[in-house]
Structure 1
């Protein structure tokens, strides 16, 4: 009897251990504990989201985000600092971020290598059309959020990412304070120059452009609601940026002119700067009303790039105010 009792006891203990192991490895664990990619880090809580690439389980509190979609400033606003960012300027964070991304590695979505992403050990990757060809590889490294929107539809992009990361409150709060600031500065400018019009001309390595609701133009004509001059392409369905000839620019007579320039590649920076200087020093330009009255405002270098991302847009508002209204 003693032998039978001992055997029954041993079998009971074995069955209890097996049951505990089954509970640990059951379906519920797939949502509560997961090792992502090559990070060797365990995320204890996941959320399932639906992107246009399908269902993705992402960490609720990601620690190592790789941003390949120009969303790093949006991430900062939501409380995250990416380990890899696509929003740098000449390989580093812009000065206005004041040390907020000192430990971040900056890359270009157009030239980044898969091995560099693997080396970052991400637990979340942000992607969009600029890295779509890499999506399958990226999603094997770590959970990957594919965004439908780009920096040219930055409001929709910010809202889309905020929804995926469950940060709607933070996004709404930021938009609220930014919109109020933009409207206030716009109202100050319109009060000082009632009825006067504005335009934005931009030079790159090959073209001269008039900007409507895009980048800095979006700040001027949408966020600040400044009156646009004749020739500003505000509501074209395909693009609100228009390539124009110098003759067209010199024939228009806005009351205020913003001018900017940018180089797609660093090796064209000198050419762009030379074309820009020729443009604003041309006698036809200097005879324009805005030029004669000292109402031409340059937004070049980092000031131009401020218009691309949310925290930079806040700084751009301050730059615009100071240029048009003068020091406080």
Structure 2
């Protein structure tokens, strides 16, 4: 079975279950409010509940979507938040992206390896968010100085967990989980479920429209996502997170070689075997890390011999943006860039 496909299917089911629990919680909270009003009481007898409503004016709906306490299930067990965290430290840029997408801001965040500041695509949104080292090398001293009341990290940083978790309560999420599942968790932590649903729906509406346009324009033409590296040319498949965006969300067709990538997210091939990919369009991932390898591909006679290259159907894209961040803000840009390239192609 394909792990990535399982994750996306599980993510959809989990989200549906999440919405169902939310509706049940809302109805229970409404009953509690009406009961309290009828009895003239303003307390619940000291009993805590995840759906306990807050006092609101009579002309406002109870804010049950963001009610606390809330229990978060994660890779290390469960953690119950009795109130919204005031200082969140995030150890993956995708969490920064997720929080900003729903109108929240962490107190501190790591940055990508080799960078000195937050991703350019975020603009001035991070504001005064403090830099906490990089995803690969979190700055523990900076995290301690920040004094967060919650830390978000992934199992990619498993070796740091013991030290990090001594600083503050730490929630560990699956590095490869679907971004929609991460969004649900971040929304539960911050009480921004409604905002998260708005982000999700906007994305689903966007890709539905683009999927139809791309299908009409491309027909049976295929698309490949490749990355020149020191080890060879990496070809990404459906199980790769960005591959899932292209092939599942946008409905792009895979060439035969890509279809055969079943048990991993990608395969490595030599320069000489690049023609075997056989795609009608190529997205070429490149950045400063493998700039020399990208240049070698671009100048090779093998690459120049491809029909896609001759017909200007090879598109250079930034690998850091396309494969490193994986939050809704970055993913929307990926979708826009991919669609603009393909819909505007010859």
TM-score, structure 2 as length reference: 0.71
User: Which runs of structure 2 are paired with 1:1-80 in the superposition (5 Å)?
Assistant: 47-58=70-81, 60-69=83-92, 70-80=94-104
Distance 1:189 1:48, change over 3 A: closer
Cα offset for 1:305? 5.1
1:176 corresponds to? 201
Who wins on radius of gyration, i.e. which is larger?
A: 1
Q: Distance in 2 between matches of 1:55 and 1:193?
A: 46
Equivalent of 1:280 in 278, 293, 298: 298
User: Which runs of structure 2 are paired with 1:148-187 in the superposition (5 Å)?
Assistant: 149-151=174-176, 153-187=178-212
SS in 2 for 1:208: strand
TM-score, structure 1 as length reference: 0.74
SS in 2 for 1:86: strand
1:294 corresponds to? 312
Deviates more, 1:54-63 or 1:71-80: 54-63
Distance 1:215 1:116, change over 3 A: same
Superposed CA offset, 1:115-158 (max 9, x none): 211111212110221333333433332222121x1156433333
How many residues align? The count is: 279
Higher relative contact order (CA 8 A, sep 6+): 2
Deviates more, 1:158-167 or 1:178-187: 158-167
Cα offset for 1:166? 4.6
Note the residue ranges of structure 2 that are not aligned, 5 or more in a row: 1-45, 51-67
Q: Distance in 1 between matches of 2:279 and 2:74?
A: 44
Residue 153 (structure 2) pairs with residue 130 (structure 1): no
Cα offset for 1:232? 0.8
Q: Distance in 2 between matches of 1:306 and 1:225?
A: 22
Note the residue ranges of structure 1 that are not aligned, 5 or more in a row: 1-26, 32-44, 264-268
Residue 218 (structure 2) pairs with residue 193 (structure 1): yes
CA RMSD of aligned residues (A): 2.9
Cα offset for 1:105? 2.5
Equivalent of 2:267 in 242, 246, 254: 242
